[in-house]
Structure 1
Amino acid sequence: MSLEKEKQSSGEIVDTRVLRQLYRYVQPYRPQFYFLIFLTISLALLAPTRPYFIQVAIDDYVAIGDSQGLVRMIYILVGLMLLQAGVQWAHTYYSGWIGQVIIRDIRIRLFKHLLKLKLKFFDNTPIGRLVTRNISDVETLADVFSEGLAAIIGDLLQLVTILSVMFYIDWKLTLVSLCTLPLMIISTYIFKEKIKVTFNDVRNAVSNLNSFLQEHITGMNIVQIFNREDREFEKFKEINREHRKAHIRSVLYYSIYFPVAEIIQAIGIGLVVWYGAVGVLGMELQIGVLISFIMYLQLFFRPIRMIADRFNTLQMGVVSSSRIFKLLDSKEHIANEGSFKPEKIQGNLSVRDLWFAYIDEDYVLKNINFEVKRGQTVALVGATGAGKSSIINLLSRFYEINKGVIEIDGTDIRQFELDTLRKHIGVVLQDVFLFSNTIYYNITLGNPSITKEQVMDAAEMVGARKFIERLPGGLDYNVMERGSTLSVGQRQLISFVRAMVYNPEIIILDEATSSVDTETEELIQDSIDKMMKGRTSIVIAHRLSTIQKADQIIVLHKGEIVEQGDHDNLLEKGGFYTQLHQMQLKSMAI
């Protein structure tokens, strides 16, 4: 979603459809939610009791010097204050509790949803924006319950209750009290509209900050290699400046609105004191009524002042909910409709009439056809962008096929249950990603069924055991973020162990030795041969020396197969493969 689109969606009014979607997450906690509603109503009813009993204490007991009656009223007032404090505590706790359990559930569901999305989705969506959705936007939802919906309902009930009591006690004085209400409503509405815009700007600025920081921290080596520190720092300052401006605008509106609201309230109280004092002096009004009305006005205007801020909190929560639900409603996930779950496969692979495009009909693979028998090795070669990696991405169903079919043992890969399909395919990528955890975790990825003995056996096979044993703690050594404490070759060896420990029947090596130095490559080449023995293997390599033993070499050019055969046959043809071979010989000679 573009930033412009986000701004447009942020300007919408509160969407009841989104609130209904949000209410679905409340269903498991209905008893606590209904109890929260009860507490909200209780607070609204308790609000006008204190001024009323103070009025009674002054007019019925203080005025006639009834000290015993006054003491009883003091006990009642203390009891009411304690009761109100207890209800307020429970209301604050349960509103916060419900908000936190709901955002926990939403965050879990959101992350689970992200795990199922196609890689194409992540290609087109900035990671920083997804982080914002999963953290900042989800966190905003908690305010919907603690400071938004429940608080607004409570404020409205309190206004109705106070207004009813005031009219019951003295309708004339009530009308005088409400003379400044139109001014309060107008100023509140203006404030609500202004602060809504600034809140939207703040949310968009936070999203931009997250995206910028994530990308530049991840790519810090590129920034430093090309001496872009100063330029990128200036760009960051500009983004941060927009974030600061948005916050300052919100502070400005608050700094104007609340003093204005205080002045309007003071004018209202002044009118009540003036009119009430005339009534008291004329023996038409009791002093207790006048004092209680001053208290009522303070209670009455407070929720009006807060309701604009809370409405915007609610609206921002609804906007965040809308963004989250839009992400959850995304259908860009791999369809896992297959039910075929074989324990073992033979590994016979067939690709027929395969077409694929990342964007619309801009095909990167065109009419691809080849077969690989069990235990054979097929090598995919060609210039960068020829479509080699796209084929293996489709085989693992990271992307969906546009046209054609890929079969394993005569069964369309779309008929396989997705986890089962990927369990039978071991993949070693050129860009090895390691989590900030132990070597053992990075190899097993938290699978408790894989023992350390199995890991070390696989490490022995690919020649990684010795370097692992030399590390402090061995398998328990923490590689830090992205494996920063290991060399490129060591990270690549761990990826070999990670692929082999699951004992797959099909092995995919995507430029698996391109990042490894010559000495390390020689060290693991024999182990790779053992690893591939008896398994169907698909190898992508720029170094043609590593694929000369392949049973079949497929040469790709602009998404099409231009040559196919073994190493010797292709050299005899004198075509694309011969040109690639000669170019590499020249580069090695240099």
Structure 2
Amino acid sequence: MKPSTEKRLFQYAKSNIKIAVFSLTCLIIGVGLELIGPFIAKSIIDDHIVGVQAEWVELAQDQDGAVKFNETYFKRADRVTSDDQVVGYHTLVQSNRSYYFIDGQVPINSHILIEDDQDWVAEFNGETFDIEGERLSTAELYQFFKPELKPIAILLAISIGLILISSVFAYFKTYLLLVYANRIIVNIRRDAFAKVQQLPMKYFVDRPAGKILARITNDTEGIKELYVNVLATAVNSVVFMSGILIALFILNVKLALICLLTIPALYLWIKFYSKYAGKFNRVIRSVNSAINASINESIQTMPIIQAFRRTKERQEEFEELNHRHYRYQQKLVRLEAYTTFNLVGLLRGFALLGFIWFFGNGALTSEGLITTGVLYAFADYLGRLFEPMEMLINQLPQLEQARVSASRVFELLDEESEVVDHQEIPRINGRIEFDHVHFAYEEDDYILKDLSFKVEPGETVAFVGHTGSGKSSIMNLLLRFYDQQKGTITIDQYDHKQLSRQQVRQHINIVLQDPFIFTGTVLSNITLNDPRITREKAIEALKTVGADEFIEKLPLKYDNPVGENGADFSTGQRQLLSFARALAFDPAILILDEATASIDTETEGLIQNAINILSEGRTMLIIAHRLSTIQHADQIIVMKKGRMIEKGTHDELLELNGNYYQMYKMQQAGIIEQTV
């Protein structure tokens, strides 16, 4: 049973666990420092601003921290020490907008009623009692606040310092998370591309190049967003919310429990969203791959599309895919509108109702139950609680897209691959034998049927026959792009299947009818950046096949840049480059797959000369289109419907007066049969 997508993403995440741990540590420290702010604000409010509304003791003499008022020294009762000589008690009370300094001890939350200058009454919880005291002016009140200015300044400085330190940790957290995410994506892309190079040829035949490209580029980019944005936001939000909830429990357990009810609601909402968003995203990613494949194919075949006036039909095919992509994007947008953007507002509303209900039931009516500082801190934390929650909810679309992208990449990685073994084997002599070989691309629909032949080292053997006769399939088997279902293939003393595909291809090279030229320079197309092929060896190979005639005319000669697929070169010139490439790698067996089929007669002479040079000292297998180019072959094998029907030299086959003779006469007469 294969592990889930989430487990596999976690496995990749563990590859750079040290960076992740360090980043998480920075995050926790940063969040912790940031969340200290409301506690500092609570202390400033309760202990130093509202805190002056408290009991004050009258001292016999001046003491450290005492306040001088009416030539008498006073000190807050909660700051009195055993060394202080207490004379009497007073209470500083705020009632409406005025402050009063009352003789004796009265409840701090009392309401002062002044009937006249002589009769003062304090009211608290419906009870009244007579008091004496005086109303404080602003200047007089400032005397009681003056000792608090220094600790307030210190606390504010600490708060600013914590914010600055927190920002430093936030920077390192963000930087390290991005580094961490990018390293993970590098590993996933590397594995995906490495997997593509290990896949059997059938995988590429069954799938358009654009769809494979989309998995390595678009889908891995989608996973990148998971680690760069979603992971960073999720971790930050979870840590932040956890810190806030801890702070809320420290402030007030009942209020914190009300806020805690939002977590199950958040979890259920995420599960609901994931269920439907995953379905839509899978279709969207699949259609997106089809769009890439369509665009890729259209660009490559644009001359054919325009020549046959099929642009309108091609546009309609694209529009159908594009509209399907649009429909499912609309479904996803509606789902996001129903879920993500309404959830946080809904939870915030419930939390606010619970907050109001709590205080509406008398939380502030009993002295000492909850202070102004606690109220401020709790309101601050409550506001902060929904910020990371909103960020987390808004990342849900990206999360689901990333999960679908990851599942598509892992589908690619789970494809059955070929065994990779680059271990060197001694250079082969070039002897090839097919012994009763049967081969089918699909089930039992055999393309090659009971095929047997031998090729001795150094021989040149040509294969001719109509389209579908099995010529290219022989080369596909020899290069192990596919494996036969029955029979054996041997190269020298090696059983073909006992060698890895890389070992089989170490001493075999191929020149195709339409050779591929890589973006780079002329020389890089010969060496393929293989350190074993020196610059001198590559130039010598180019000169040997006659390619130097046109290369020397280029502005930078052998270092001249080459565009995509050598578009600046003619077919013959590209073919000469491919021959030079084969010569530079010096294979023991060289396969020419209709290498002269698409070139003019003048260039054919150069190509034929290159073939003669390449054939020296190595086994040559040629799939022939022009029979005039294979008359020198040691063997010519005529194929028909997957079977060998004739074999011999050119002269021997003409004497048979069979299929080969008929094909040759038709070409001699100028009737070039396109299916040969």
TM-score under structure 1 normalisation? 0.89
State the shift of 1:103 in Å.
0.9
State the shift of 1:95 in Å.
1.2
State the shift of 1:183 in Å.
6.6
Which stretch shifts more, 383-392 or 446-455?
446-455
- Residues 309-333 of structure 1, C-alpha deviation per residue, up to 9 Å, x if partnerless? 4455445434333332332232232
Query: Helix, strand or coil: the match of 1:25?
Result: helix
Distance in 2, matches of 1:200 and 1:328, equals 17
- Go from structure 1 to structure 2 and tell me whether the alpha carbon gap of 1:193 and 1:56 turns closer, same or farther (over 3 Å shift): farther
- 1:79 alignment partner in structure 2: 161
Aligned runs of 1:300-339 on 2, under 5 Å? 300-310=385-395, 313-333=398-418, 335-336=419-420
Query: Helix, strand or coil: the match of 2:520?
Result: coil
What runs of 5+ residues in structure 1 fail to find an aligned partner? 1-14
Query: Helix, strand or coil: the match of 1:562?
Result: strand
State the shift of 1:259 in Å.
4.8
1:265 aligns with 2:252: no
- Residues 499-550 of structure 1, C-alpha deviation per residue, up to 9 Å, x if partnerless? 1111222221110100111121123323322321332211111211111222
From 548, 553, 560, the equivalent of 2:643 is 560
Distance in 2, matches of 1:503 and 1:180, equals 71
- Go from structure 1 to structure 2 and tell me whether the alpha carbon gap of 1:546 and 1:363 turns closer, same or farther (over 3 Å shift): same
Aligned runs of 1:177-576 on 2, under 5 Å? 190-255=272-337, 257-259=340-342, 261-262=344-345, 264-266=347-349, 268-269=351-352, 271-273=354-356, 275-276=358-359, 279-280=363-364, 283=367, 284-310=369-395, 313-333=398-418, 335-336=419-420, 341-342=425-426, 344-416=427-499, 418-576=501-659
From 255, 280, 283, the equivalent of 1:173 is 255
Distance in 2, matches of 1:16 and 1:377, equals 52
Which stretch shifts more, 240-249 or 32-41?
240-249
Distance in 1, matches of 2:485 and 2:347, equals 66
Query: Helix, strand or coil: the match of 2:552?
Result: helix
- Residues 445-484 of structure 1, C-alpha deviation per residue, up to 9 Å, x if partnerless? 1123323332232223322221121222222222311111
From 138, 143, 149, the equivalent of 2:220 is 138
Distance in 2, matches of 1:406 and 1:185, equals 60
- 1:31 alignment partner in structure 2: 18
1:105 aligns with 2:187: yes
Query: Helix, strand or coil: the match of 1:501?
Result: helix
What runs of 5+ residues in structure 2 fail to find an aligned partner? 53-144
Distance in 2, matches of 1:293 and 1:199, equals 40
- Go from structure 1 to structure 2 and tell me whether the alpha carbon gap of 1:472 and 1:588 turns closer, same or farther (over 3 Å shift): farther
- RMSD over aligned Cα, in angstroms? 2.9
- Go from structure 1 to structure 2 and tell me whether the alpha carbon gap of 1:267 and 1:113 turns closer, same or farther (over 3 Å shift): closer
State the shift of 1:433 in Å.
0.8
- Residues 69-89 of structure 1, C-alpha deviation per residue, up to 9 Å, x if partnerless? 222221222122223222222
- 1:7 alignment partner in structure 2: none
Letter in 2 for 1:341: I
Structure with higher Rg: it is: 2
Whether the 8 Å contact between 1:349 and 1:407 is mirrored in structure 2 is yes
Q: Which structure has the higher relative contact order (CA within 8 Å, separation 6+)?
A: 1
Distance in 2, matches of 1:414 and 1:184, equals 57
Which stretch shifts more, 377-386 or 51-60?
51-60
- 1:10 alignment partner in structure 2: none
- Residues 337-381 of structure 1, C-alpha deviation per residue, up to 9 Å, x if partnerless? 696711x33222222111212222221111111112222211100
From 223, 242, 246, the equivalent of 1:164 is 246
Letter in 2 for 1:303: P
Which stretch shifts more, 175-184 or 450-459?
175-184
State the shift of 1:273 in Å.
4.6
Which stretch shifts more, 488-497 or 174-183?
174-183
Structure with greater proportional strand content: 2
Query: Helix, strand or coil: the match of 2:463?
Result: strand
Query: Helix, strand or coil: the match of 1:470?
Result: coil
Whether the 8 Å contact between 1:272 and 1:290 is mirrored in structure 2 is no
TM-score under structure 2 normalisation? 0.78
Letter in 2 for 1:206: N
Which stretch shifts more, 293-302 or 504-513?
293-302
Distance in 1, matches of 2:271 and 2:508, equals 61
Whether the 8 Å contact between 1:195 and 1:253 is mirrored in structure 2 is yes
Identity fraction in percent? 36
1:90 aligns with 2:199: no
Structure with greater proportional helix content: 1
